[in-house]
Amino acid sequence: MKLNKFSSVIISISVIGWFIIALFLFDAVSINAENDPEQVNVYKKLKLFNEVLFKLQENYVDDIDIDVLIDAAIKGMLDETDPHTTYFTPDEFERFNTDTKGEFGGLGISIDKKGEYITVVSPIEGTPAYNMGILSGDRIVKVDGENVVGISTDEVIKKMRGEKGTKVLIGIERPGVEEELKFEIIRDIIKIESIPYAFKLDNGIGYIRIRQFNANTTKELREKLDTLEEEGISGLLIDLRFNPGGLLREAVDTVNEFIGKDKRVVFTKGKTPQANLEYKTRYNRIRNGYPVIVLINEASASAAEIFSGSLQDWDKGLVVGKTSFGKGSVQRLFPLSDGNGLKVTTAKYYINSGRCIHKDLNDMILKGEDVSDEEIENAEEEHIKDVHYTENGRIVYGGGGINPDIEIDQKRLSDFEMELRRNNSFFDFSIEYLLEEQDEIDVNFRTNDDIITDFMELIEKQGIEFEQADLDSSYTWISNEIRNNVVSRKFGPVEGYKIIIEEDAQLQEALSLFDKFSNLQEMFEFAETLKLTQQN
């Protein structure tokens, strides 16, 4: 609100009132200074804050928006805490609560602030941003031509969200690409299915992709597992890659499905008694009869780490992939007056083995602080020293995310392949192709040289430059991307996804373990042998 003469008087009275209250409180507690000097110091600082606010309001050359000023002061105060402690205005608080329910309007990306940049943690499969080729690690620098570097995450979210069907122009800085990339994306209602994909593969292995842990995850997981078990699966792969986490209780309840009732999953430690809690499984449910593999990567965080680490701790699942993100802190929501809200880090969580997987360096990085090579090296040394044991005595480590039992790398897209994704080439081609060949396409659709030639003609019209070597090295990938887009648009995203995972090298290597070993114990023994070989 802008100040006029009348509002200036009211605000002056309000500020003076707070000033008097602060003085009164200070005088009231000064008597007990010797008993509680820390409390007295708080009131001293409150007095100082009121003095500054009063002098500024009375003497600053221009009109001041007091609401904005105080909100900025609150956010500035929280900047001295960790990056997960956040103040919400009423609109922001409502949006945050909406997100945890599993539905919102927008583009379909999970983002976080790293330094001054809003950075894509992961695009959500099947959403406009994912289909346009937004990648993990992309930095959002402009929204509709407006520079958003240095702006808060919540402000950028507000700018990107909008009515379904409206357009937004996103400017992206991508590592390794010199020029700014521009994406014109049509907004849509983003319905976040916790488990978008669950099906039995041709080799008899069940596949489940958990995208995040929201209020429906346990219910969805039980239904998917029931269906897969009825189909007679011989093993189960749970894919938690790019899963940013979610609700702690849902993580515990999903772990319940594999370890049974009355087993400790998580305990938390904080400053207050109510922050020191223990979470045990509560349902008389346990799935068995087949080996379980959990696939994680560097973007698997929070509740996803509780799930994967807990199955590892209880020796109920083999964890493969890359070391997870390392977000082991717990946040609690506090509703404030006038619809505002506060998300506060109240504790750190420890999984059953006693390890806390939180990487303190991540908090520094997310706040934009410089981290030296020496600090990274020291953190890794401390991580290896923090030894814990699973239920059956296998060694695991704390303080550095969830380390996979078997490390598996992921193949990266080439510059040429990323350019095809960014230009939405497969989407455009599939629409044109379906217009002409709709009746001829079945779920087993395959490409041929003629189809690939037509596709290359389209990308030449789009102005994408390439060499014959680019086409040769990417031929199979291009073929699968065309198949995925065509089949997805006719038969739905699940059928298209089955095609995409054929080229997912990390996933395919994980699946190959089921062919080599018939049970978890054999997998654990192989993982231990592999580690010893690598150490030597």
Do 321 and 402 lie in one domain? The reply is yes
Which residue range is the domain that position 165 belongs to? 103-191
Window from 32-46, 240-254, 265-279 with minimum mean pLDDT: 32-46
Residue 511: inside a domain:
no
CATH code of the domain covering residue 157: 2.30.42.10
Residue 516: inside a domain:
no
Do 171 and 299 lie in one domain? The reply is no
Do 469 and 366 lie in one domain? The reply is no
Residue 513: what are its φ and ψ, rounded to 5°?
-65, -30
- Look at residue 139 and tell me whether its pLDDT is greater than 60: yes
Q: Cα–Cα distance between 243 and 238 in angstroms, integer?
A: 11
Do 221 and 318 lie in one domain? The reply is yes
Do 213 and 185 lie in one domain? The reply is no
Instruction: Please answer whether residues 257 and 227 qualify as being in contact, where contact means their C-beta atoms are separated by less than 8 angstroms.
Output: no
Do 267 and 367 lie in one domain? The reply is yes
Q: Cα–Cα distance between 481 and 484 in angstroms, integer?
A: 5
Residue 257: inside a domain:
yes
Residue 244: inside a domain:
yes
Record the pTM.
Answer: 0.75
Q: What is the reported pLDDT for 104?
A: 63
Task: Write out the DSSP string of 394-443.
Answer: -EEE-SS-PPPSEE---PPPPHHHHHHHHTTHHHHHHHHHHHHHGGG--T
Residue 9: strand, helix, or coil:
helix
Do 119 and 251 lie in one domain? The reply is no
- Look at residue 253 and tell me whether its pLDDT is greater than 80: yes
Do 420 and 444 lie in one domain? The reply is yes
Last residue of a domain, one of 379, 407, 435: 407
Please identify every residue annotated as catalytic.
Answer: 302, 313, 327
pLDDT in tens, 461-476: 989 999 999 999 999 9
Residue 71: inside a domain:
no
Residue 52: inside a domain:
yes
pLDDT in tens, 425-438: 887 888 889 888 88
Give 406's strand partners: 320
pLDDT in tens, 381-431: 888 899 999 999 999 999 999 999 999 999 888 999 989 988 878 878 888
Last residue of a domain, one of 161, 191, 221: 191
Residue 522: inside a domain:
no
What confidence category does residue 205 fall into, taking pLDDT thresholds of 50, 70 and 90?
Answer: very high
CA 284 to chain centre: 30
Do 324 and 421 lie in one domain? The reply is no
Provide the residue type at 316 as one letter.
K
Q: What is the reported pLDDT for 435?
A: 81
State mean pLDDT over 516-525.
Answer: 96
Last residue of a domain, one of 146, 168, 191: 191
Q: Cα–Cα distance between 376 and 329 in angstroms, integer?
A: 20
Residue 372: what are its φ and ψ, rounded to 5°?
-80, 160
Where b means 16+ CB within 10 Å and e means fewer, 15-53 reads beebbeebeebeeebeeeeeeeeeebeebeebbebbeeb
Do 221 and 257 lie in one domain? The reply is yes
Q: What is the reported pLDDT for 14?
A: 40
Instruction: Please answer whether residues 255 and 238 qualify as being in contact, where contact means their C-beta atoms are separated by less than 8 angstroms.
Output: no
pLDDT in tens, 145-192: 999 999 988 789 889 988 888 999 999 998 778 889 999 999 988 777
Give 208's strand partners: 198, 238
State mean pLDDT over 66-88.
Answer: 86
User: Which whole-number Å values give the CA distances from 397 to 326, 334, 357, 390, 404, in the listed order?
Assistant: 12, 33, 8, 10, 11
Residue 342: inside a domain:
yes
- Look at residue 47 and tell me whether its pLDDT is greater than 50: yes
Of residues 437, 373, 368, the one with CA closest to residue 113: 368
Taking the CA of residue 62 as centre, how many other CA atoms within 13 Å lie in the half-sphere pointing to its CB?
A: 3
CA dihedral 140, 146, 152, 153 (to 10 degrees): -40
What confidence category does residue 536 fall into, taking pLDDT thresholds of 50, 70 and 90?
Answer: low
Do 46 and 130 lie in one domain? The reply is no
Please count the structural domains in the chain. 4
CATH code of the domain covering residue 384: 3.90.226.10
Enumerate residues 6+ apart whose C-beta is below 8 A from 415. Answer: 176, 177
> Computed over its alpha carbons, how large is the radius of gyration of the chain?
27
Do 260 and 225 lie in one domain? The reply is yes
